[in-house]
C-alpha cells in the first residue's frame, strides 16, 4: 500500500462528527427550509388569489401544478448538471432561481404571469433538492448518514409550517404579497452560502483540486497527517460512469434504477393525494372541518417522526428493509382508515400514513444517494425525483376523479393504499449488489437477509 495515498471515501465514512459537519448540516438545513417555504407559499395565498383574480377551483388547481411541472424538470436537469458542474455551484444557481422568481411573483398582474413565474421558481425548488441531499450524503459519516440526511430534510416540513404560520400572522394585515417579499431572503444570503458552504469533497478529489481537498480534510480529520506528497484518491470504480445519465443503466443498475423510479412515483402520488384530499376525505367520513385540518397536521408530524426515526433505524439495519416495512405499514394504515375507529386510533393511523409517505420520501432520497457512486449521484437522484414529480402531478387529479364516483369510504382509502404496496415491492426488489456498498461486499445478500430479519423482529 502507498502510504502517501489517502482514501477520501474511507476518511469520510470513519470520521468523527466535527464542527465542520455541523456547518454543512446547518447550511443544508437552512436551504431546505427556504425551499419548503417557497413550495408551500402558494397554498397559503390561494384563497386570496382566487378571490382577487376570480379563479375557479379548476384554474387554481392548474396554477398549482405549474410549480410541480417546474420541479419535475428542475430535478432532472440540475441533478445531471451537478455531476458536471459541482454541488455547490448548482445549489447556488437553484437558490437564486427559486428565491428570485418567487419574489417576482409578488409583482404578477395576472394568473398567466403568476403561473410562468411559479414554473420558473419550481425549476429551482426541484433542482436544489437532489443536490443538497447529495452534498450532505457525501460529508456524513457512514454510521449516522441516514439520520443526518433525514434531519436535514425535515427542514422541508419546517419551511412549510413557517410559511403557514407567517401567512396566518402577516397576510390579514399586509396582504398576500408580503409572503413573496420574504422569499428574497435566500437570494440575499448567496454571498454567505458561497463563503460557508463547502463543495463536495468527492467532486474536488475527482477534479484534482488538491488545495481545497487538503483544507477540507484537515477540518474533517485534524488528526490526519497531511503532507505535500499526499495523494487523495477515491475507492469507487468510475469506469463507464463518465456519462452520468447512461451510467444509471450500466454495471447492473438498470433494474434497480427502474425500481427506484417506480417507488418515487408511487410515494409522491400518495404524498400529494393525501396532502390535497385528506381533509375532504375525512369530512366525507363524517368529521368536522376543524378535526379534518388537525388530521392533516398529524399527517405532517408523522412524516417528520417517520423520517428521523426511519433514518436512525436505517443506520442500525439498512435502508432497504426499513423502507420496505414502512411502505407496507403505511398501506395497512391507509386501509384501516376506511373503517370507524376511536379518534386516538385515527390519529395514530394517520401519523403512520404520514411516516410511510412523507417520511419515506425523505428516506428514498437517502437510499438513492447511497446506492449510486459519486460521479452519477445527483443524476440518479434528479431523475428519480423528476419521475416522482409526475406522480405528484397525477396523484391529486386521480384522487379527485376517484371522488366523483362516490365510492364507499373504505374504497377511497384502499385505492390510495395500493401505491404503497407497489412501492414496498419495488424497494424490496432493489439489487444491493449493484450499489456502491454492494460492489465492495460480496456477501451483501447474506447481510441484507440478516438486516431484514432484525428489522422485522
- Whether residue 397 is predicted with pLDDT greater than 90 in this model: the reply is no
Q: For residues 300 and 306, what is the distance between their CA atoms, to the nearest angstrom?
A: 10
What share of the chain in percent tops pLDDT 90?
Answer: 19
- Torsion angle of alpha carbons 254, 256, 262, 266, nearest 10°? -160
Give the pLDDT score at 237. Answer: 52
Nearest to 216 by CA among 23, 372, 366, 84: 23
- The residue that leads in pLDDT, 2 or 8, is 8
- Write out pLDDT tens, residues 52-111: 888 776 677 677 778 888 888 888 788 778 877 888 999 999 999 999 999 999 999 899
375 phi and psi angles, rounded to 5 deg: -60, -25
- Whether residue 261 is predicted with pLDDT greater than 90 in this model: the reply is yes
Q: For residues 96 and 409, what is the distance between their CA atoms, to the nearest angstrom?
A: 44
Give the pLDDT score at 296. Answer: 67
Written as one string, the DSSP assignment of 188-212 is HTHHHHHHHSPPPHHHHHHHT-HHH
Question: Running DSSP on this structure, what letter comes out for residue 67?
Answer: H
What is the pTM (predicted TM-score) of this model? 0.74
pLDDT classification of 291: cutoffs 50, 70, 90: low
pLDDT classification of 30: cutoffs 50, 70, 90: very high
- Whether residue 293 is predicted with pLDDT greater than 60 in this model: the reply is no
pLDDT classification of 288: cutoffs 50, 70, 90: low
H-helix or E-strand containing 252?
A: none
- Write out pLDDT tens, residues 313-345: 888 888 889 999 999 998 998 888 877 777 788
pLDDT classification of 244: cutoffs 50, 70, 90: low
Amino acid at each position: 500500500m502507498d502510504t502517501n495515498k489517502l482514501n477520501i471515501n474511507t476518511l469520510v465514512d470513519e470520521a468523527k462528527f466535527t464542527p465542520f459537519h455541523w456547518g454543512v448540516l446547518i447550511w443544508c438545513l437552512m436551504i431546505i427550509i427556504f425551499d419548503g417555504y417557497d413550495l408551500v407559499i402558494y397554498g397559503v395565498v390561494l384563497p386570496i388569489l382566487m378571490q382577487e383574480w376570480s379563479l375557479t377551483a379548476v384554474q387554481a388547481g392548474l396554477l398549482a401544478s405549474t410549480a410541480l411541472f417546474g420541479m419535475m424538470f428542475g430535478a432532472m436537469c440540475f441533478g445531471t448538471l451537478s455531476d458536471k458542474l459541482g454541488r455547490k455551484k448548482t445549489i447556488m444557481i437553484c437558490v437564486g432561481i427559486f428565491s428570485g422568481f418567487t419574489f417576482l411573483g409578488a409583482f404578477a398582474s395576472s394568473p398567466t404571469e403568476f403561473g410562468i413565474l411559479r414554473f420558473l421558481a419550481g425549476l429551482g425548488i426541484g433542482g436544489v433538492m437532489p443536490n443538497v441531499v447529495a452534498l450532505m450524503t457525501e460529508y456524513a459519516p457512514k454510521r449516522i448518514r441516514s439520520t443526518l440526511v433525514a434531519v436535514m430534510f425535515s427542514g422541508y416540513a419546517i419551511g412549510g409550517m413557517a410559511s403557514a404560520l407567517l401567512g396566518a400572522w402577516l397576510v390579514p394585515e399586509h396582504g398576500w404579497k408580503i409572503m413573496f417579499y420574504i422569499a428574497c431572503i435566500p437570494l440575499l444570503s448567496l454571498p454567505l452560502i458561497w463563503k460557508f458552504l463547502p463543495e463536495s469533497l468527492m467532486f474536488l478529489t475527482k477534479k484534482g483540486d488538491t488545495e481545497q481537498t487538503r483544507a477540507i480534510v484537515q477540518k474533517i480529520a485534524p488528526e490526519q497527517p497531511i503532507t505535500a506528497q499526499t495523494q487523495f484518491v477515491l475507492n469507487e470504480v468510475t469506469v463507464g460512469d463518465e456519462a452520468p445519465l447512461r451510467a444509471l443503466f450500466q454495471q447492473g443498475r438498470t433494474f434497480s434504477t427502474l425500481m427506484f423510479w417506480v417507488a418515487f412515483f408511487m410515494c409522491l402520488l400518495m404524498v400529494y393525494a393525501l396532502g390535497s384530499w385528506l381533509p375532504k376525505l375525512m369530512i366525507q367520513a363524517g368529521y368536522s372541518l376543524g378535526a379534518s385540518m388537525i388530521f392533516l397536521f398529524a399527517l405532517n408530524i408523522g412524516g417528520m417522526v417517520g423520517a428521523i426515526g426511519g433514518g436512525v433505524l436505517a443506520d442500525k439495519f439498512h435502508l432497504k428493509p426499513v423502507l420496505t416495512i414502512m411502505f407496507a405499514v403505511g398501506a395497512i394504515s391507509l386501509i384501516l382508515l376506511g373503517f370507524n375507529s376511536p379518534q386516538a386510533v385515527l390519529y395514530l393511523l394517520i401519523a403512520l400514513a404520514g411516516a410511510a409517505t412523507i417520511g419515506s420520501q425523505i428516506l428514498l432520497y437517502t437510499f438513492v444517494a447511497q446506492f449510486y457512486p459519486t460521479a452519477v449521484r445527483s443524476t440518479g437522484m434528479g431523475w428519480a425525483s423528476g419521475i416522482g414529480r409526475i406522480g405528484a402531478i397525477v396523484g391529486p387529479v386521480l384522487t379527485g376523479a376517484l371522488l366523483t364516483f362516490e365510492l364507499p369510504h373504505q374504497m377511497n382509502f384502499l385505492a390510495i393504499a395500493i401505491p404503497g404496496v407497489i412501492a414496498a415491492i419495488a424497494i424490496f426488489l432493489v439489487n444491493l449488489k449493484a450499489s456502491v456498498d454492494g460492489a465492495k461486499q460480496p456477501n451483501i445478500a447474506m447481510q441484507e437477509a440478516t438486516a431484514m430479519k432484525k428489522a422485522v423482529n
